[in-house]
Amino acid sequence: MATTTTAKTKLARVFIDGEAGTTGLEIRERLAGIDNIDVKSIEPAKRKDREARAQMLRDVDLVVLCLPDDAARETVALADELGTKAPKIVDASTAHRVADGWIYGFAEMMPGHADAIKAAMRVANPGCYPTGGIALLRPLVEAGIIEPDFPITVNAVSGYSGGGRSMIEAYEAGTAPSFELYGLGLEHKHVPELQKYSGLTRRPIFVPSVGNFRQGMLVSVPLHLDTLTGRPSLRDLELVLEEHYQGSDLIRVIAEPSAKMSRLEAEALNGTDKLELYVFGKAALGQAVLVARLDNLGKGAAGAAVQNIKLMLGLD
């Protein structure tokens, strides 16, 4: 009588370094629902113990860094010392987003990029704001409609959960303003990746803001159509975006939104990993506003990290 052997699926071991923060907690919750992943934790008393951390890095297949930039660099340096025993790394900080040797973790950025993430040992998770900006701009730069040295302005509003512990505490205590602009020194830490991966040679102006809602995001780019190469129509812009993201499960271009709506709220995609792209405008005025809508904790942070983790572990 023949016997049948069922192979047991190997669990992928993942360590979230900085799991107590907003992004770390969100990633852990999402990974808990994936059967093939075993999330490991280090004892609280040993979180700063160098040898205990090194041993954890040896024992896992992948580590997610949800740390301040300097701490993320320290963990990467520790992994470097392990040589071939080092795990794969997804860095959710800004420390390595434009660094050599790191793959930028926006899977839909260009054709074949998801395969590059699959093969990578080190992936820099994108910032939430740049995810929206790059999604809008890169296809148009690649198509030659926006020249690389074109003067671009990106405006954005986010829920307060993207602002770190002190901002979250201030909003939840009712002591923060209802709305505020920030980064007005024009040196926001997301600008380098926004410029590099959009394909721009001229530094864009980036004006971020935060509103009194926990999560959700709108990123917008105003354009004068007669200043663009070929003087495209609104529909021309949509068609370029549609072709670029054709077949994507997460990114959707909403056709001709100006005929359907005159307002757009930030929280509609909360709790999802989806990203919506819009081309608003009026042909008679020759003006357009490109808009990306996403959950800053979804496709903008934890959702993107989990997408990259699954790609790197062969689970996607």
Write down the H helix ranges in the chain.
Answer: 22-31, 50-59, 69-81, 113-119, 128-142, 165-172, 191-198, 234-244, 303-312
Give the max Cα distance, the chain.
79
Q: Which residues pair with 254 in a beta bridge?
A: 278
Domains contained in the chain, CATH given: 12-126+301-312 (3.40.50.720), 128-296 (3.30.360.10)
Alpha carbon distance 196, 179 (integer Å):
29
Q: What is the pLDDT of residue 82?
A: 94
| Token pair of 72 as six digits | 């993320």
The residue length of the chain stands at 316
Report in angstroms the alpha-carbon separations of 285 from 155, 206, 230, 270, 281.
21, 24, 16, 33, 8
- Give the count of beta carbons closer than 10 Å to the beta carbon of residue 28: 18
Rounded to whole angstroms, how far apart are CA atoms 94 and 107? 17
pLDDT at 7: 46
Tokens read off for 97: 């987003």
pLDDT tens per residue, range 104-131: 999 999 999 999 999 999 999 999 999 9
Tokens of 301: 């942070």
Distance (Å, whole) CA 24 – CA 205: 30
- Arithmetic mean of pLDDT over the chain: 93
- Res. 266: pLDDT tops 90: yes
Residue (of 175, 173, 215) closest to 22 by Cα position: 215
14-64 pLDDT, tens digit per residue, is 999 988 888 999 999 999 989 899 999 988 888 888 899 999 999 999 999
CA–CA separation, 33 vs 133, rounded Å? 30
Residues labelled catalytic: 128
Give the residue from 239, 65, 220 showing the smallest Cα distance to 129: 220
The residue with tokens 């990123």 is: 219
